[in-house]
Amino acid sequence: MKRDLYLVIDIGGTKILLVLFDEDGNIIGRKKLRTPEKPLPEVLVNFILDSVSEMEHELQTVFLNSIKAVGICFAGFVEFRQKIVHQAPNLGWQEPVPFADLLEKKLKCPVIIENDASAAVLGEVYYGAARGHHDVIYITLSTGIGGGLFLNGQLYRGSSGFAGEIGHTKLFGKDRICSCGGENCLETWASGSGIAKSASELWEPGDLNYEEFTTANVFAEAAAGNQPAELIVKEAIKAVGIGLSNLLNILNPSCLVIGGGIINAHPELLAELDIIIRCKAIRPVVEISSLKVLQAELGADSGIWGIYALLKGQD
């Protein structure tokens, strides 16, 4: 008997991950690729089609005709119901793109799209750290800063799908333009790219034996006792803690899940954020509500599992 398959695609600014599921949630195959540099939508569609063909070859099976649905998560501003990516700065997209429709025409099966952090909160609720919670905030600390909201037992997208964008709350620092078009967003100062930017403004290339400054370099310098690097990291974490405290005061969740590349590489920051939150948020939010602050259990696959949940109707 033919079994239904589900293809999930996580499209980020630097990598694309394809994961093939069967109807029971078993992973049949996965393929990771480097994202083409600022691809046009049509170029990305063809890239995905080629990647599916490569995946079929690697698995030595033709599965495209067995795919019941495809789900995609983007780091960007996504309108789930209209299937439109309004902005994906990491891909160089500043105008609306009907990406799901473009891919549906090629694959001949239903395609859904979702913001990556919104997908991640679903993944952690149904399969990860937030199981059993009905009011959850997910925050990703990575190249950018994103947020997903699961409120009253369901994913909260807002009126058009743009809710949860904590990375674009303001004002943090001064005189720094954000890729969203605004200024001094939390993301511009406290994300991985923001931390690297702060270092590049403090030192010249080569000053610390680095050709370019990356988040990893700054954390390495901080760990080695470089005081300016320590201050950059400290201020970034403080800014994230304050931003989260504001969000907790507004939404009063029972669980805050923190994921992303920075927290995966430096899990000790979770305790620091917990301390800041419990100092800055109002006492009822963190004490009476018995707030749990947890690291994402699914790591980089949170969004993948969240999209699978959507494809299976768990929304």
Question: Cα–Cα distance between 291 and 310 in angstroms, integer?
Answer: 26
pLDDT in tens, 134-161: 999 999 998 888 899 999 999 999 887 7
The per-residue pLDDT for 25 is 92
| DSSP labels, 164-206 | T-GGG---SSSS-B-TTS-BS-HHHHHSHHHHHHHHHHHS-TT
Question: Cα–Cα distance between 17 and 1 in angstroms, integer?
Answer: 28
User: Which CATH superfamily includes the segment(s) 5-119+302-311?
Assistant: ATPase, nucleotide binding domain (3.30.420.40)
The residue assigned the tokens 């630097």 is 14
Query: Is the pLDDT at 239 greater than 70, yes or no?
Result: yes
The per-residue pLDDT for 224 is 93
62: confidence class by pLDDT, cuts 50, 70, 90:
confident
Let me know: does 164 contact 118? Beta carbons within 8 Å.
Answer: yes
Residue 21, SS3? strand
Residue 146, SS3? strand
pLDDT in tens, 172-221: 666 677 776 677 678 888 898 899 999 988 888 778 888 788 899 999 99
The CA-CA-CA angle for residues 243, 248, 254, to 5°, reads: 140
Residue limits of CATH 3.30.420.40 in the chain: 5-119+302-311, 129-296
The per-residue pLDDT for 1 is 46
User: Which CATH superfamily includes the segment(s) 129-296?
Assistant: ATPase, nucleotide binding domain (3.30.420.40)
pLDDT, mean of residues 24-29: 92
Share of the chain above pLDDT 90, in %: 62
pLDDT, mean of residues 77-86: 90
